[in-house]
Amino acid sequence: MPYKDKLFRLAKRILVSRDEAEDAVQEVYLKLWKGKQKISKYDNPEAFAVTMTKNYCLDRLRSKQAGNLKIVHSNYEHSDNVERKVEARDGVNMVFEIMETLPETQRIVLQLRDVEQYEFAEIAKMLDSNETAIRVNLSRARKTVREALKKQYNYGIK
Amino acid sequence: MESNKIEMLLDAYFEGTTTIQEEQQLREYFSNETVAPHLESYAPMFQAFEQAHKECSQQEIELPKPLIAQRRWWLSIAASAVIAIGVAGYVFTNANQGLTQEEQEALAAFEKTKAALQQISMNFNEGAEELTYIDEFNTTTKKILK
């Protein structure tokens, strides 16, 4: 399963819940499997899989079934200094929480660019958009995270 | 890396104009222990992205099997052909020679009976030939009583 983790991370970014994300990935693979003959015609199967995952997750999010999603956090990496570790964990946690509050499109763009490091052209293809729109969304998402983070830090100091 | 270059990169980053390589530089800088104090507030962002990238799915993907069977349809045809040839060969070779003890005895008895019957019929024919002399009586009586 070549893109399993990438698709899973994207699904989890959109759906937040780990279980929901795993179900979504399973479902997407099933769909890809059924359309196996068709997928070989696409020049970029990875982009196609990402697009499918995104659409499926957004559908899930809008359906009534997903009305009671719960937030499940994973464990985070450790660093040497305990004090720093606690601080970093809080900061990182905060970033994840802020990301959850972003509009869906911004969240997806941020995930695809800053987490998965896709080129703008690829993201534009995946989201059926153009590079300028992607850059605008990305800039907004990054700025929102920065502002929210600053606010949290100031609150901690004051 | 000097912090003013990082600041420049950060400005571009928030405008969405950095390349993948430049963003990689930023990630590397913020994953270091020595981050300039006035830039420390940006560190969690890049650390979070790095962490999010390492997250993996634990589940196994289950896919249906039938399509695999369809791909090897010719295998089943080949297998059934081999079986058919095998069965046919077995049947034909047995028809000629594979007789049981009982069947062989029955065959011998049949041959003996046939020979015996043949002999009887030969004797019978001999007797029938002798009977032709009786016709002589008929012809002679016809001559006299004409």
Distance CA A10, CA A4 (A): 10
pLDDT tens, residue by residue, A113-129: 999 999 999 999 999 99
Q: How far is A16 from chain B, CA to nearest CA, in Å?
A: 12
Residue A39 domain boundaries: 1-71
Is there a contact between B42 and A146 if contact means CB atoms under 8 Å apart?
Answer: yes
Nearest to A5, CA basis, from A61, A69, A72, A53: A53
* Block residue for tokens 């070989």: A40
Is there a contact between A5 and B58 if contact means CB atoms under 8 Å apart?
Answer: no
The residue with greater pLDDT, A132 or A34, is: A132
Q: How far is CA A131 from CA A50, A139, A142, B5, B17, in A?
A: 17, 12, 16, 26, 11
Q: What is the CATH number of the domain that holds A61?
A: 1.10.1740
Nearest to B60, CA basis, from A29, A74, A54: A29
For the cut 60, the answer to whether the pLDDT of residue A101 exceeds it is yes
Contacts of B56 in chain A (CB under 8 A): 5, 8
- The reply to whether A120 and A86 lie within a common domain is yes
Contacts of A129 in chain B (CB under 8 A): none
Contacts of A74 in chain B (CB under 8 A): 55
pLDDT tens, residue by residue, B23-60: 999 999 988 878 888 888 888 889 888 888 888 888 78
Q: How far is A64 from chain B, CA to nearest CA, in Å?
A: 25
Is there a contact between A115 and B13 if contact means CB atoms under 8 Å apart?
Answer: no
Q: How far is CA B142 from the centre of its chain?
A: 89
Contacts of B12 in chain A (CB under 8 A): none
Q: Tell me if A54 sits within 8 A of A108, measured CB to CB.
A: yes
What is the model's pLDDT at position B114?
94
Last residue of a domain, one of A12, A45, A71: A71
ipTM of the complex: 0.76
Q: Tell me if B14 sits within 8 A of A139, measured CB to CB.
A: yes
Q: How far is A57 from chain B, CA to nearest CA, in Å?
A: 16
- The reply to whether A92 and A138 lie within a common domain is yes
- The reply to whether A110 and A143 lie within a common domain is yes
In the structure encoding, which two tokens stand for residue A126, read together?
Answer: 């995946």
- The reply to whether A43 and A87 lie within a common domain is no
- The reply to whether A87 and A61 lie within a common domain is no
Nearest to A115, CA basis, from A153, A141, A89: A141
pLDDT tens, residue by residue, B63-113: 776 555 556 778 888 899 999 999 998 888 766 566 778 888 999 999 999
Distance CA A119, CA A17 (A): 27
Q: What is the CATH number of the domain that holds A126?
A: 1.10.10.10
Candidates B18, B55, B60, B65, partner chain A, best to mutate (most A CBs within 10 A): B55
Nearest to A53, CA basis, from A22, A97, A98: A22
Taking residues B1-22, what's their average pLDDT?
Answer: 88
